[in-house]
Amino acid sequence: MQFAMNLEYLEAEFFLSGATGLGLDSYAPGFSGGGPPPIGAQKANLDPLVRRIIEEMGYQQMGNIRTMVETVGGIRRPLIDLTRVNWGIIFNRALKTTLIPPFNPYENSLNFLLAAYTMPYLAQVSYVNSIPSLTTNSPSLFLAAKLLAIKAGQSAVLRALLYPKATQLVPPYNFTVREFTKAISQLTNDLGKCGIKSEGILLANTTLGAENRTTSNVLSADANSLSYARTEPEMLRIVYGTGNEHLSGGFFPLGANGKIARSHLLI
């Protein structure tokens, strides 16, 4: 559960800053556990609808972190890199090209939604993985189940916002929203080294669709329409952007925090 707090911090800082221009320290100064503030987070140029939704998700993150600290104890917030440079590197890797101009998630609502696309989902699949190992009827189990519900909801909302735009180009690039989501999902699969556990919002054929009957993919799920799960090493490979749970980078340049994350890190 403390391992998942790294992802909760990542979401909180990105959503709060993107919607309001203020990070977690401005709203809840004691929530960081003494960790450093994120770098590069900024207010995004969001339309009123998206801004309201992202702001709500940011506040949800605050409540989630508060409850986790009270239930299982907190961790020190890791250094989080939300700079445009880092985002540009991530999207260049996903699209396998050099985007000109570099991808900037703070430029507009569509870019921000694409950047936020996998964040709640990563937390979701992390909770799915952790629940079977938690003690029956323990406070941690109940909390994980509740957090899983929120992450699944957040992920569904973001995917639903992107789905109607699937065939639209993402200005000024020659890639559609569908191609962006497919590329981002494929990058997480490649980095995680665990097969297909993330899918774009529109499929090339019905092979991965619900009951093999649809190419629409508003919810990413397995062959039985159940949520995928990712282990802690898989998650670290993805958020570090290195494909190696022992080598930090990406969103966490100094590594994630907590006993599990630090045990994997090569110091």
- Vertex 60 angle, CA 36 and 29, to 5°: 35
Domain ranges in the chain are 2-264
* d(C-alpha 183, C-alpha 178), whole Å: 9
pLDDT band at 137 (very low <50, low <70, confident <90, very high): confident
pLDDT at 155 over 70: yes
Query: From residue 53, how far is each of 19, 41, 48, 155 by CA, in Å?
Result: 9, 18, 9, 12
Query: From residue 71, how far is each of 67, 100, 124, 150, 252 by CA, in Å?
Result: 6, 46, 19, 17, 25
Model pLDDT, residue 138? 86
pLDDT band at 267 (very low <50, low <70, confident <90, very high): low
How confident is the model over 205-241, as pLDDT tens digits?
A: 898 899 999 999 999 898 899 999 999 999 999 999 9
pLDDT band at 134 (very low <50, low <70, confident <90, very high): confident
pLDDT band at 111 (very low <50, low <70, confident <90, very high): very high
What integer best gives the mean pLDDT of the chain? 95
Helices 2-20 & 232-239 angle (0-180, nearest 10): 30
Integer-rounded Cα Rg, in Å, for the chain is 17
Query: From residue 239, how far is each of 10, 86, 104 by CA, in Å?
Result: 10, 12, 18
How confident is the model over 5-39, as pLDDT tens digits?
A: 999 999 999 999 999 999 999 999 999 999 999 99
pLDDT band at 70 (very low <50, low <70, confident <90, very high): very high
SS3 65: helix
**54, 15 in Cβ contact below 8 A?**
yes
Percent of residues in the chain assigned helix, strand, coil, to nearest 5:
55, 5, 40
Model pLDDT, residue 135? 80
Tokens at residue 167, please? 């065939």
* d(C-alpha 259, C-alpha 205), whole Å: 42
Q: What is the pTM of this model?
A: 0.96
Q: Which residues of 60-92 are buried (b: 16+ CB within 10 A; e: fewer)?
A: bbbebbeebbeebebbebbbbbbebebbbbbbe
pLDDT at 3 over 80: yes
**217, 228 in Cβ contact below 8 A?**
no
Could you tell me where the DSSP H helices lie in 73-205? 84-95, 109-116, 119-130, 139-162, 177-192
- Comparing CA positions, the residue from 196, 227, 222 lying closest to residue 209 is 222
pLDDT at 100 over 80: yes
**What's the residue count for the chain?**
267
